[in-house]
Structure 1
Amino acid sequence: MSITDTFVAVAEAHSAPTYHPLPVVVATADGAWMTDVEGRRYLDLLAGYSALNFGHCNRRLIEAAEAQLERVTLTSRAFHHDRFGAFCEQLAALCGMEMVLPMNTGAEAVESAVKTARKWGYRVKGVPAGRAKIVVAGNNFHGRTTTIISFSTDPAARADFGPYTPGFEIVPYGDLTAMRAAMTENTVAVLLEPIQGEAGVLVPPAGYLPAVRELTRERGVLFVADEIQSGLGRTGRTFACEHEGVVPDVYVLGKALGGGIVPVSAVVSSAEVLGVFRPGEHGSTFGGNPLACAVALEVIAMLRSGEYQARAAELGDRLHRELGALARTGRVTGVRGRGLWAGVDIHPGCGTGREVAEKLMDRGVLVKDTHGSTVRIAPPLVIGEEDLDWGLARLREVLGL
């Protein structure tokens, strides 16, 4: 049995089988590259589902974390600490908002956004108690808590986890007519991913997001944008909503906000919206902890430079140009995405998405399949041009080109 097989066997014997990972065991990583326990190197074209936008072990972020580790790592929100105010102020400014509700994971942030929208609906909009409704889109992925999977349309996410949380109306993604019909006087929010990541990097029709923005204003409803995967530089802008000139009422952020070092998430909005909370109504022991704030402050500083957004836009053009060429061969039946983010639909004659991912792994490239035939590509924004080209060349090989 190889070293890799031994690690995999132990993991499979002692961890709940909630994932089906590729049989690679990573030991070290730097930038866009990872090395396994047997010394083989792999180009990372997944970037932790966008949690690693700035690459593995980014020195600026590591140094920020190390400096904070020597000072204080956790106080709980029972006390103030010297990084918290700056984190909230600077993240709010990056978003063009006023207030921040810090959490840890993306799912926690989505749950917090749901609670925020409901409380705003009762206290500000005047919806009768217990009747608040939130409109969501089919094929969404916002997390895996019991409330969130209650408005999922993915059978794998929902099956055997009921009873489900009420209060959600599901409409087709991109269908404004259906969204308008689903809204009532008790609707408090529309919760959308500006680009649906888990669904296969689905980009909505042009004009859809601005129309949602206009509709929510017209109906007195909050527009909540889940930018956990799409935000913080991934698409070539700080936020994916910016591609269509849209500013939502609420941003939900996570993943890259922690720099791939610690889990950091947040709900960011106006004082009118987040100001509905009172002490004791919501919280998190680790949310906004000193270590998380120190890392996130460095992430915010990096994003303020615009360097990473510009790089994602430039390399994204290169990525989509090459993927478009693959589509013209017929081996790829569809390509979607923005910036350094793409969903690639593989022709059945070339294998399933999983089979393509396994063949790429054998050639030193790591990607993730989804929904059977689709491969997602989302490299760290720090990837070099030559490395990106090399990875795409391996994809051409796997497709027999």
Structure 2
Amino acid sequence: MAATEVAQSRRVVTEIPGPKSRAIQERRRSAVAQGVGSVLPVYVERAGGGIVEDVDGNALIDFGSGIAVTNVGNADPRVVERASEQLGRFTHTCFMVNPYEAYVEVCEALNRITPGDHEKRSILLNSGAEAVENAVKIARNATGRQAVVVFDHAYHGRTNLTMALTAKNMPYKQGFGPFAGEIHRMPMAYAYRWPTGPDNCGPEAADMVIDQITKQIGAENVAAVVIEPIQGEGGFIEPAPGFLPAIVDFCRANGIVFVADEVQTGFARTGHMFACEHEGIVPDLIATAKGIAAGLPLAAVTGRAELMDAVHGGGLGGTYGGNPAACAAALASLSAIESDGLVERAREIGELMLGRLRDMAGKYDVIGDVRGRGAMIAVELVKDADRTPDPESLAKVMSFCHSRGLVLLSAGTYGNVIRMLPPLVIGDDLLNEGLDLLEEAFSLL
């Protein structure tokens, strides 16, 4: 049976993890560095649609998508065919040595679909962290400035610079310093936890950020403001309404490059092709990865031509950036997103999930907040009316769901957020079954 023929039904035939997965896990202990973790150590045999099947024959409902990567599914036949055809012709030349058309085609597609009708350029890279790091390089080079502004609860990657941009210490930064300098962290418009309430959050947070930049850094020294339009690892925090537009206006007025980190939110995930479109934001630079190539390593920076072209020849690139097989996969994946209507499908998924989860919030006090857009949905768990984070309940919910065959991810600065990122090709039956399991877990707390 090919991966694309995986039956779209949950099946639990052993305990999870099963005996074959446990045996591989034992081998892993003596082969793989302990610093590499796994949310759920079931070893995958094949996957497709909304199902991940393990080596023991268990079929799990996928609410993770490899952390928002397999938006078009794990084995879309168009992606498989196009990438396989490319592999049969050549695997690598390095675009900086002998270029090839697919790299150019991907850049053309990104220039077309990213927000704004201005002239754009793109570069292709390998990972989200690499994309963010290159966006900062470009902004610093183009402006001649050094300071970079980031936000509480942010996550931008695991390289030295992107660790500095990331807010959460454990596990991402602990013991890995010293970090890159000239990074300045600002308050985030986290509506659920804003002291004066959600209605005041957007304008108050924006005023606070602008005041701190002006007084503590000097706007004339800031090269870039880097922000996730919806924060990912931080807990799927949607900036309160009005916050992003105010920050963008401040950047425009002061010659600051506004960088949207759309690594987790991009490519139809939130019910727009890119999350910044929800508030009409047009970034100067946009960093993408994850969902761009349906699982093959690829990332990009796309932005205003005058910024991208300001960098001297040879200043951007990398040996594997824009690998030809990854480019082929990206072209097929982007075509599938558009032809299959996956932007609209993400909205349908969001409506279904948010509706059911808000019903659950009315029944279970542990659910403090339900939030998200499209197929990027989160539930924040709390202990009391004071909104004390409840990571203990999260651990119990995750354990129950994993044991029953539902792949869930956690997130949040306080370790108390369940995040859900189902493939955009998942069926409503699997969505509802997964939510049934989640509700059962809440009922047992």
Fold in common (TM above 0.5): yes
- Within the alignment, does 1:170 sit opposite 2:204 as a pair? no
- Picking from 227, 232, 239, the partner of 2:267 is 232
1:298-377 correspondence runs (5 A): 298-305=332-339, 307-329=341-363, 330-348=365-383, 351-370=392-411, 371-377=414-420
1:180 Cα deviation from its structure 2 partner: 1.1
Say yes or no: does 1:254 pair with 2:254.
no
Q: CA contact under 8 A between 1:92 and 1:98: conserved in structure 2?
A: yes
Q: Could you report, residue by residue, the CA deviation over 1:27-74 in whole angstroms, capped at 9, with x for unpaired residues?
A: 111111011111011001011111111111111111111111111221
Q: CA deviation at 1:84?
A: 2.0
CA contact (8 A) 2:155 2:165 kept: no
Which residue matches 1:99? 121
Structure 2 SS opposite 1:315 = helix
Letter of the 2:409 partner, please give it: K
Task: Please give the residue correspondences for 1:2-401 in structure 2 after superposition, counting only pairs within 5 Å.
Answer: 2-18=19-35, 19-76=37-94, 77-95=96-114, 96=116, 98-122=120-144, 127=145, 132-156=146-170, 157-174=172-189, 175-181=205-211, 182-183=213-214, 184=218, 185-260=220-295, 262-305=296-339, 307-329=341-363, 330-348=365-383, 351-370=392-411, 371-400=414-443
Could you list the structure 1 runs, at least 4 aligned residues long, displaced by more than 4 angstroms after superposition: 347-351
**Higher alpha-carbon deviation: 24-33 or 349-358:** 349-358
Contact 2:157 2:166 in 1 (8 A): no
What code does the residue aligned with 1:56 have?
Answer: N
Q: Is the CA contact 1:4–1:38 (under 8 Å) kept in the aligned structure 2? A: yes
Deviates more, 1:286-295 or 1:228-237: 286-295
**What amino acid is the match of 1:282?**
L
Structure 1 contact 236–340 (Cα < 8 Å) conserved? yes
Say if 1:91 and 1:300, in contact at 8 Å, map to a contact too: no
Cα distance, 1:21 vs structure 2:
2.7
Give the letter for the 2:402 counterpart: M
Moved more, 56-65 or 144-153: 144-153
Tell me the distance in 2 between the aligned counterparts of 1:295 and 1:32. 19
Amino acid at match of 1:215: F
Cα 1:71/1:148, change in 2 over 3 Å: same
Q: Give the distance between the partners of 1:30 and 1:118, measured in 2 at CA.
A: 42
**Shift in CA distance, 85/23, structure 1 to aligned 2, threshold 3 Å:** closer
Unpaired segments of 5 or more residues in structure 2? 1-17, 190-204, 384-389
Deviation digits for residues 308-335 of structure 1 (CA, Å, limit 9, x no counterpart): 0000001211110111111111242211
Question: 1:351 offset after TM fit, Å?
Answer: 4.5
Does 185-194 or 7-16 show the bigger shift?
7-16
What is the letter of the counterpart of residue 232 of structure 1?
A: F
Checking the alignment, whether the CA contact within 8 Å between 1:89 and 1:98 is kept in structure 2 is no
**Residue 151 (structure 1) shift:** 2.9
> 2:346–2:374: 8 Å Cα contact kept in structure 1?
yes
- RMSD after superposition: 1.7
Q: CA deviation at 1:14?
A: 2.1
CA distance in 1, matches of 2:106, 2:404: 41
Looking at structure 2, the residues matched to 312 and 7 of structure 1 have their Cα atoms a distance apart, in angstroms, of 35
Q: Helix, strand or coil for the counterpart of 2:185? A: strand
Judge conservation of contact 2:381–2:393 (CA < 8 Å) in 1: yes
Bigger mean CA deviation after superposition, 188-197 or 277-286: 277-286
TM-score normalised per structure 2? 0.85
Identity %: 34
Displacement of 1:226: 0.2
Distance in 2 (alpha carbons) for counterparts of 1:369 and 1:206: 25
Deviation of 1:392 (Å): 0.3
CA positional deviation for 1:12: 2.6
Q: Which moved more, 1:96-105 or 1:106-115?
A: 96-105
Aligned-pair CA distance for 1:159:
2.1
Separation in 2 of the partners of 1:328 and 1:372?
Answer: 22
TM-score normalised according to structure 1 size: 0.94
Q: How big is the shift at 1:20?
A: 4.4
Using the alignment, how far apart are the partners of 1:350 and 1:265 within structure 2?
Answer: 32
One-letter amino acid matched to 1:173:
M
Q: Distance in 2 between matches of 1:52 and 1:246?
A: 25
Matched residues, number: 392
Name the CA distance, whole Å, in 1 between partners of 2:47 and 2:113: 29
Which amino acid is 1:393 matched to? D
1:323-352 CA-partner distances (Å, limit 9, x unpaired): 111111124221111111111123558953
Where do 5+ consecutive residues of structure 1 fail to align?
Answer: none
Measured after TM superposition, the shift of residue 238 of structure 1 is: 0.3
Q: Which moved more, 1:215-224 or 1:153-162?
A: 153-162
**Structure 2: which amino acid aligns with 1:385?**
D
Q: Note the C-alpha offset of 1:135.
A: 0.7
Between the aligned partners of 2:362 and 2:322, the Cα distance in structure 1 is 48
Contact 1:350 1:399 in 2 (8 A): no
Q: How many angstroms apart in 2 are the aligned matches of 1:37 and 1:154?
A: 34
